[in-house]
C-alpha cells in the first residue's frame, strides 16, 4: 500500500516548469504527495516577492506539503555560487530527508540542472527502502563543463563517480532527450531500463488574440536569456538583416543573466529593431506568438546541446508558427524532417543571417505549410496525454 510519495525538484510553483503540471495531475488523481525544493528564484536569480529566504520553511500547495530551504542568490552570474548551491542542495535535502524519509516509499526526482538533488535520496535509500524514479532533463557531467567548469582529472574523477553513484542508485531512469540514453548506459554498473519521456507544452501556444508588435515581419524568441542561448551571435546576424530589410524585427521576451549584456551589445554595435519585452506571464505568451511570423530557438554550438530538446520547442509547436532553429542536433533534424521551418549553424553569423533571409523571402504559402506541419510532430512525439500516462505507469506501477 502506497503511503506517500515525495517529489524532489530544484524548481516548483511559482516558477514555471512542467513539474507543476505533473504534480497537479497526480494530486487531481488523489495521490498523496509532498514536495522538497528550494526557495523560488528562477529565472531572476533572487528570491521571489512574498517568499523569505529562510533556512527552512513549510507551506501548503493545494493538498501537498512543500518543504523549502535556503538558496544562495547570485548563481546566475557566478559558477562558484552555482556550485555552492549544488552542495547546498545536498546538505539541506539530506537533513530534511533524514527526518522525513520514513514517511515515503516512493521518491520522484525532477532533475532540471543539478544532479546533486538526487544525491541525498540515493545515499539514504538503504535506511528507508523507498523506490527512486529520476526524470533527467539535463545531462551530467557534460552540462557542468558547458557552463565553464574546467575539466581537470580531479574534477572529472569526482563528477564521473558522483553520476555513477546516483544513476546506479535509482530504480527507474527517465530521460527527456533520447540522446542521453547511450551516455547514461555507459556509466551503469549493470544494465537497467532507461525510458524516453519527453516534455509536453506547459501551455497551448495558439491564440486568436494578438499582442501589438511592430508592423512588418516579426521574429520572436521567448525564454531564458543566458549565454548558452547564443543570442549575441543572433543579434549580430540580425544587424545585417535590418540594413537590407528595415521592416524586420526581433522580439526577445524573457529575462536572465545575459540580458543586460545583450542590451549593451545592441546599443554599442547599433543593432536596431531588437525589442526587449522583458519577462511576461506564461499565459500571455500565446498572444505574442500569434502576432509573430516566426518563432526562434537558439543554443550554443556545444556537443551537449546537439542532444538537447529545450522545453520551449514543444510550446512553439502548439503555436502553429514556423520555427527558426539556430542549433545543431536533434531539434534541427526534426525541423527539417517534419518541414516546420529553417535551421542554421549556431557558430556561423553568416549562416544565421542566411536563415533570417530565407524565412523573410519565403512565400506565405510556404510559411503556412511550415506552420501546419508542426501539428504532426507534436502528435507524433510530444503528445501530452500519452506522456502523462506513461509517467503515471512508470512511477505508480506497483
The 10s digit of each residue's pLDDT in 65-118 is: 999 999 888 776 777 888 888 888 899 999 999 999 999 999 999 998 789 999
- Residue tagged 538583416 (cell numbers): 241
Of residues 42 and 106, the one with the higher pLDDT is: 106
pLDDT at residue 232 in the model: 97
**What residue ranges do the domains of the chain occupy?**
5-200+383-396, 217-381
Instruction: With CA atoms as reference, report the closest residue to 218 among 238, 197, 232, 204.
Output: 238
Total residue count of the chain as it appears in this document: 398
Domain 217-381 - what CATH class?
alpha beta
Percent of the chain surpassing pLDDT 90: 71
Measure CA of the first residue to CA of the last residue in the chain; give whole Å: 9
pLDDT class of 398 with cuts at 50, 70, 90:
low
The residues pairing with 106 across neighbouring beta strands, listed in sequence order, are 5, 131
Q: What is the pLDDT of residue 202?
A: 83
DSSP one-letter code for 47: P
Domain covering 5-200+383-396, topology: Rossmann fold (3.40.50)
pLDDT-derived band at 2 (thresholds 50, 70, 90) equals: low
**Can you give the pTM of this predicted structure?**
0.85
Q: Quick check: do 5-200+383-396 and 217-381 share a fold?
A: yes
Q: Considering the chain, what percentage of its residues have pLDDT values greater than 70?
A: 98
**Average of per-residue pLDDT values in the chain:** 92
Quick: pLDDT tens for 139-187: 988 888 877 778 889 988 998 999 999 999 999 999 999 889 999 999 9
pLDDT value for 217 = 97
Q: How far apart are alpha carbons 204 and 195 in whole angstroms?
A: 25
Amino acid at each position: 500500500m502506497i503511503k506517500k510519495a515525495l517529489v524532489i525538484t530544484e524548481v516548483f510553483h511559482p516558477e514555471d516548469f512542467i513539474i507543476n503540471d505533473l504534480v497537479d495531475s497526480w494530486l487531481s488523481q488523489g495521490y498523496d504527495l509532498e514536495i522538497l525544493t528550494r526557495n523560488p528564484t528562477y529565472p531572476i536569480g533572487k528570491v521571489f516577492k512574498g517568499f523569505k529566504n529562510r533556512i527552512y520553511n513549510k507551506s501548503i500547495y493545494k493538498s501537498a506539503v512543500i518543504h523549502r530551504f535556503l538558496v544562495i542568490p547570485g548563481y546566475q552570474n557566478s559558477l562558484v555560487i552555482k556550485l555552492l548551491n549544488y552542495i547546498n542542495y545536498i546538505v539541506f535535502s539530506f537533513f530534511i530527508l533524514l527526518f522525513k524519509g520514513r514517511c515515503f516509499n516512493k521518491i520522484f526526482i525532477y532533475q532540471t540542472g543539478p544532479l546533486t538533488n538526487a544525491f541525498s535520496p540515493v545515499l539514504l535509500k538503504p535506511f528507508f527502502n523507498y523506490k527512486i524514479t529520476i526524470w533527467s532533463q539535463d545531462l551530467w557531467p557534460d552540462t557542468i563543463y558547458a557552463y565553464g567548469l574546467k575539466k581537470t582529472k580531479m574534477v572529472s574523477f569526482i563528477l564521473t563517480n558522483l553520476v555513477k553513484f546516483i544513476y546506479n542508485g535509482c530504480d527507474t531512469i527517465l530521460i527527456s532527450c533520447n540522446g542521453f540514453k547511450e551516455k547514461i548506459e555507459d556509466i551503469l554498473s549493470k544494465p537497467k531500463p532507461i525510458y524516453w519521456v519527453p516534455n509536453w507544452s506547459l501551455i497551448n501556444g495558439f491564440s486568436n488574440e494578438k499582442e501589438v508588435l511592430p508592423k512588418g515581419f516579426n521574429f520572436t524568441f521567448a525564454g531564458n536569456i543566458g549565454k548558452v542561448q547564443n543570442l549575441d551571435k543572433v543579434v549580430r546576424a540580425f544587424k545585417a538583416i535590418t540594413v537590407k530589410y528595415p521592416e524586420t524585427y526581433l522580439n526577445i521576451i524573457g529575462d536572465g543573466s545575459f540580458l543586460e549584456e545583450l542590451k549593451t551589445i545592441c546599443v554599442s554595435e547599433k543593432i536596431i529593431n531588437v525589442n526587449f519585452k522583458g519577462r511576461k506571464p506564461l499565459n500571455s505568451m500565446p498572444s505574442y506568438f500569434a502576432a509573430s511570423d516566426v518563432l526562434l530557438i537558439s543554443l550554443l554550438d556545444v556537443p551537449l546541446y546537439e542532444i538537447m530538446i529545450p522545453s520551449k520547442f514543444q510550446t512553439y509547436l502548439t503555436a502553429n508558427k514556423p520555427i527558426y532553429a539556430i542549433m545543431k542536433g536533434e531539434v534541427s533534424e526534426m525541423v527539417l524532417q517534419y518541414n516546420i521551418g529553417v535551421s542554421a549553424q549556431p557558430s556561423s553569423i553568416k549562416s544565421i543571417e542566411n536563415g533570417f533571409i530565407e524565412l523573410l523571402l519565403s512565400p506565405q504559402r510556404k510559411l503556412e505549410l511550415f506552420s501546419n506541419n508542426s501539428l504532426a510532430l507534436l502528435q507524433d512525439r510530444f503528445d501530452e496525454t500519452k506522456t502523462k500516462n506513461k509517467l503515471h505507469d512508470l512511477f505508480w506501477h506497483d
